[in-house]
Amino acid sequence: MKIDIKGIIVLIMALGLMSLLGLIVYDEFSMASEHDAELDQNIIELLQMSITGVIGVVAGFVGAGKSGGCNCNKD
């Protein structure tokens, strides 16, 4: 059984970032509801850009994995 360490690393990075973003958003929502204030637009922008980045990294990893590698002739 061959273990794909690169896939595990990408999975850990994506899950870690998403959990960190979830914690930040939960904290901002709880602070906004506690103080009867509006949610800060910077947090929403951070969430949108971070999710876009995670999707890009995972898509790049999946796309590179399906290419089959380099079939170059080494001279």
pLDDT at residue 40 greater than cutoff 70: yes
- Domain locations in the chain as residue ranges: 20-55
Which ranges of 1-40 would DSSP assign to H, the alpha helix?
A: 5-34
pLDDT-based confidence at residue 72 (cuts at 50, 70, 90): low
* Res 19: pLDDT: 92
Q: How confident is the model at residue 38 (pLDDT cuts 50, 70, 90)?
A: confident
* Rg of the chain (C-alpha set): 19
Which band of pLDDT confidence, cut at 50, 70 and 90, is reported for residue 70?
low
Contact 13, 57 (CB under 8 A): yes
21-43: average pLDDT: 87
The Cα–Cα gap between 74 and 15 comes to 38
The confidence score (pLDDT) of residue 44 equals: 83
